[in-house]
Amino acid sequence: MYYPIDETTARRAHEMMSMRDYTPGSTTAEYRRMVDQAAALVERQKQKVSPFYHDKLDALLDRYARRMAQWTNDHSRNGASCPSILICGGANFPTRKKERQNARDSALWKEYEEIQGILDKIRSIGTGPVDLTDPHAREMLEDRIRRLQERLDRGKKMNAHFRKHKTLLGFPGLSDDEADALDKDIAAGPSWARVPCPDFELASLRNKIKTAQKRLTDLDNLEARQDQPAAEEAFPGGRIVQNAEENRLQILFDEIPGEDVRSALKSHGFRWSPKNKAWQRQLTQNARYDARRILGIA
């Protein structure tokens, strides 16, 4: 998962900025530390989400490792391009060169923040809605429902155990240290939430289960429509296509629509698809209603 780090340039960049000796391999070590932290995050995320997301998590980790290596080497090259005034002194100091270096450094740190955003993507994988056009959508939804139901059942059992014994000591699957820590957290909480799994958490889990079950129903309806030919409705200047196979409502114009129409489409969630040569959004009743209203179809 690691990519090469240019230690020679890293040393030169250090010597341009500091009187201290460079520790051999320190830049590589710091890079690998950050990648190791990202790898640990991926492993924790894999424990929370369906195995169907694991390949995507691995791909994000590889992207993070590759881009951090590129950034580290770019940062070293920029650091080696001009010395600090404290190193070379003020006589004939290359001011213009230093300005270019500083500008490049600012751009590199913006890029660094963008790369760190990959970690946020890793944390979000598997937590959003399942795309119904994904070939594994049914398995992912069923897996999500199973995991949520297990959390709900465990929360209810923990509450029952706590009400009976006034402690979580002895609850199956919890060590004494874990139970003692949870007991302390419960005692320190507000009076209306002094149980292992408060009512609002149970309600949240039930709502998430209902949402996932509804998505399963939507998937059933989508699959039932996929064998049917795409329904079309003509209008002056184009046609509306209900593409069940891609789960998209598509508007195909004979000519490029005016700016007012394009703005209305964008404001209602339609996006231009170069692949399909159509303005489209997810196939829903609201999408059909919005399309007809924008196009002035009675």
User: Residue 212 — left, alpha, or beta (φ > 0 → left; ψ -120 to 50 → alpha)?
Assistant: alpha
Of 78-82, 205-209, 243-247, 276-280, the one with minimum mean pLDDT is 243-247
What is the reported pLDDT for 69?
97
| Side chain identity at residue 256, one-letter code | I
What whole-number distance in Å separates Cα of residue 35 and Cα of residue 14? Answer: 22
pLDDT at 90: 66
pTM greater than 0.75? no
The stretch 113-141 carries a mean pLDDT of: 86
In whole angstroms, give the CA distance from residue 197 to residue 40. Answer: 27
Diameter over CA atoms, the chain = 81
Let me know: does 207 contact 199? Beta carbons within 8 Å.
Answer: no
pLDDT tens per residue across span 28-42: 999 999 999 999 999
The pLDDT confidence band at residue 289, using thresholds 50, 70 and 90, is confident
User: What percentage of residues in the chain have a pLDDT greater than 70?
Assistant: 96
Q: pLDDT by residue (tens digit) across 235-252?
A: 999 999 988 778 889 999
